[in-house]
Chains A and B, each alone.
Chain A
Amino acid sequence: MPLETLTAVASALTAVVGLFVAVLAYRGFRRNDSPTMRALSIGIVCIAVVPYLILYLVGPAVDLADAEALLAITLSHTVGLAAIYRTFQY
């Protein structure tokens, strides 16, 4: 299997597992009203799911330049990590 195909499969799997973890964390937030779980859910979506969507769906669809896609992905990472970091202030 070529390296590119392996990477594409691993990326898709990462997005699916990320979405599953985010749903579990969100259900934990709904059940226990835990802000930590809500932040973890938002963080995982922004770190693992949104970059995949930008790279493989939104980017090709709206013809994003490399730098624009990179900026969108790093912004998504920053938002997700900031959401998780905020929970440590509680």
Chain B
Amino acid sequence: MIGEHARSVAAFDPQSGAAGWVDALESAVSHTLPLAPLQVEVEGGSTLVVLAAIVTFFVALLLSVLVTYRFVEGYRRTRARPILLLAVGMFLLAPGPMFVRLIVGNVAVIPLSAQLLTTTLSELCGLIVILYVVYSR
């Protein structure tokens, strides 16, 4: 490939002006870069559904952080212990597992079953904290 590239550059004729440069560059590029267009392959469903799932995941992640932040803000304003517990429960229920999915989902070393168990246990702990708050009201 390098030999062909060198030959195409060597074939450049300075007398042909700008058109000659373009031809020579095109020739060089076509010899050095793969011709296949950029492609993204999607597995597990249609591309549109996968994109929609990714967008809604990030919307849900943003909302979960906002909800947790509002609970923390409410606790800082009122110093009421149930609101602090709701903040902890909400964090364990929504943004915590979502961040785990986002980070661990991209690390191939950690098996999917371990990721699922971690997120499920986090959700369970969050629900138990919220249950305590609701039950004691």
Chain A residues near B (Cβ < 8 Å)? 3-4, 6-7, 10-11, 13-14, 17-18, 20-21, 24-25, 28, 37, 40, 44, 47-48, 65-68, 70-71, 74-75, 77-78, 81-82, 84-85, 88
Known: A4-B113, A7-B116, A84-B67. A28 touches B134 (CB 8 A): yes
Q: Which of B8-16, B30-38, B55-63 contacts A (4 or more CB under 8 A)?
A: B55-63
Given known contacts A65-B46, A71-B52, A77-B64, what 7 new A-B pairs fall within 8 Å (CB)? A3-B111, A7-B113, A10-B120, A14-B120, A65-B49, A66-B43, A88-B70
Q: How far is the CA of A21 from the CA of B126 in the complex (A)?
A: 11
What are 19 A-B contacts defined by CB distance under 8 Å? A3-B111, A3-B114, A7-B113, A14-B123, A24-B131, A40-B130, A44-B127, A44-B130, A65-B44, A66-B45, A67-B49, A67-B53, A75-B56, A77-B94, A77-B98, A78-B63, A82-B63, A85-B63, A85-B67
Q: Which residues of A contact B93 (CB under 8 A)?
A: 47-48
